[in-house]
Structure 1
């Protein structure tokens, strides 16, 4: 079974690529969703680190926490130190389960693939590249972010670059700036090349 890491900065369109990998028969792990699970599993530690202002009825207020940590790099590192080990463990569980069930490929969809060390679990890596302004306009539409908050997010993700993946794992750069058929074609051709494709349609 092949483990494929899917990375790229915020609003690069990684989920569109993930859906195309699913069409090729791969399982997809949305690591952002595992992050929600990790927050739920670490409420006491998060309360202790960041106070009651980010907790609502014994659950983490993700919006309040996001505003806080994206304004201070040291707080973001503190949050990652709490949640990332849990998320990595959950990914390892998903990989083991997929292999046990005979899957031919599993995709770890994670912006922070390298920072979390998840690239060390991967046989291949796909990095999605999209121009800065395209991602900004997408973030304004999707997340209602103003330019200053988008820049704060960009600063927090400045290590998300394709050439950080230099540990001998093959890296494929894909672009998302045109019609969806271009995304489809890139994924189909890539899957065929690494031996897991099922459809050229």
Structure 2
């Protein structure tokens, strides 16, 4: 089974691209969605114990939690020590399930794939990219987004050029959705060939 790691900076169209793979029958594990689910489930009591007052009714209040960890590397490490093992456990279950169901290709949607060295857990890396101007325009159209916030998020992510350099495959969403879908099909054809060897 080929494990594909999908990543891309904010506003590049990663979530849309992940959906394209899913529409073609590829099981997708979304790391962000897993974290959201954990914050409303298993991780909530653990986070509350470490950061009192951040969870209520079995759910983590992300706004309250961010006050505890934003700009505090030590607190962030403590949070990651709780969340990362749980995310890895969910990912492992997802992979076992996909293997059991005979899937040849699975997709792991990991926003910080290279930043967290998660590329070591996948066989192939796919980077979703677009022109910087297109990226900026898309992000600034999001509700509650400011240029300052956009730059702050970008500052925490590996530069797009570096991600592109490390990628096995690129999908440029700046060329339009039809071109992106065609590229997804090309990549899946390549992977299908590799799966048979």
Band of TM-score, shorter chain: 0.7 to 0.9
1:140/1:75 CA distance change after superposition, 3 Å: farther
Aligned length: 192
The separation in 2 between residues aligned to 1:115 and 1:174, in whole angstroms, is 19
Other-structure match for 1:177:
174
Give the structure 2 partner of residue 92 of structure 1. 92
1:117–1:192 distance in 2 versus 1, CA, 3 Å: same
TM-score w.r.t. length of structure 1: 0.81
Q: Per-residue displacement from partner, 1:140-186 (whole Å, max 9, x unpaired)?
A: 32342112222222222237742685xxxx72122111321011111
Matching residue of 2:183? 186
Counterparts of residues 143-158 of structure 1 (less than 5 Å): 143-158=143-158
Output the TM-score relative to the length of structure 2. Answer: 0.82
- Equivalent position SS for 1:111: coil
Q: 1:66 to 1:13 in 2, by over 3 A?
A: farther
What is the root-mean-square deviation in Å for CA atoms of aligned residues? 2.7
Shift >6 Å, 4+ stretches: none
Query: Unaligned regions of 5+ residues in structure 2, if any?
Result: none
